[in-house]
Amino acid sequence: MLAMFGLLAEAGQFHPVDQMYLELAVPFLVVGMFFWFLALVYSAFWVWMLVHCFRTEPDRFFWIWLMVVIPFPGALIYGIVRYLPEANLKPPEFMRRWTRGKELQRLESAAQQIGNPHQFVQWGEALNDVGRVAEAEGAFQQAVDRDPRNCQALWGLAQTQFARKLYDPALHAVDRVLEIDPQYKFGDASFLKGRCLMELGREDEAREHLAAHVRRWRHPEALYRLAVLQQKSGDVATARQTLVAMLQDLATSPAAIARKFGRWKSRAKKMLRGLPKA
């Protein structure tokens, strides 16, 4: 920039005195642009925290008031006090692959050398954690080949197949889990079966299964998906009752639980508003 000013001065477009003032102004311009960039980043963060608060926070009115009246450091305080404890943040997949490379090699060697289902399950879980889902499926399949009644291996196989949109084999794997232990993972396996049935378009079976599921495990997402199926079948009154029951469950649950399932709470409210009046 200074060189440009010098060229302009030599060309007679700037008086030397003007050039001196411009050279003095450059550091202030750089600092000003830096702070302008920081303000832009913080504004985006502020909007993000406002949206998150509105969608998930039970005490949203206090926190929104704080962030509107005191934008800085209001959004920062909300992020530290409310968002971070519930975010369960993980490093990006490429970073996890880089930091866990040696561990993956060690687990693969153990699986190949020892050959027990447990070693293949550990290897599969590590592969799945770094986003290598297809390889994780293969590791879980090898564990199942060695022990067809290993619930942990079958569960890993079902999850990776579902993630790869292989819904038929995922349903078969989760059915085998439920045959061995109907309560596996406190209802997570049962819910995955319902999701498989939905993805396969077997909506009547999915509705029947989820209706039985929520009588035992009141998963907010399961209740929401059940309400969607009930609405599709034309049973709007029952869909409304399901959504209201879900919102009542969240209203009486601890604040941390309510924040965790804020996404489904927002969806349930939006769906309720769109349902035909009784």
Looking at the chain, the number of H-run helices and the number of E-run strands are: 17, 0
Q: What angle do the packed helices 151-163 and 117-129 form, to 10 degrees?
A: 30
Contacts of 47 (CB under 8 A, 6+ apart): none
Distance CA 185, CA 217 (A): 11
pTM above 0.85, yes or no: no
Beta strands per DSSP E along the chain: none
Residue-level pLDDT, tens digit, the chain, 278 residues? 445 545 444 545 545 545 565 566 667 777 778 878 888 888 898 898 888 888 777 677 888 888 889 888 888 888 888 777 666 655 555 555 566 778 889 999 999 999 999 999 999 999 999 889 999 999 999 999 999 999 999 999 999 999 999 999 999 999 999 999 999 999 999 999 999 999 999 999 999 999 999 999 999 999 999 999 999 999 999 999 999 999 999 988 887 787 788 888 888 999 999 998 76
- In the chain, the domains with their CATH numbers are 2-87 (no CATH), 111-178 (1.25.40.10), 182-278 (1.25.40.10)
Question: Cα separations (Å) of 110 from 22, 196, 257?
Answer: 67, 33, 39
End-to-end CA distance of the chain: 69
The backbone torsions φ and ψ at residue 132, rounded to the nearest 5 degrees and listed phi first, read -90, 70
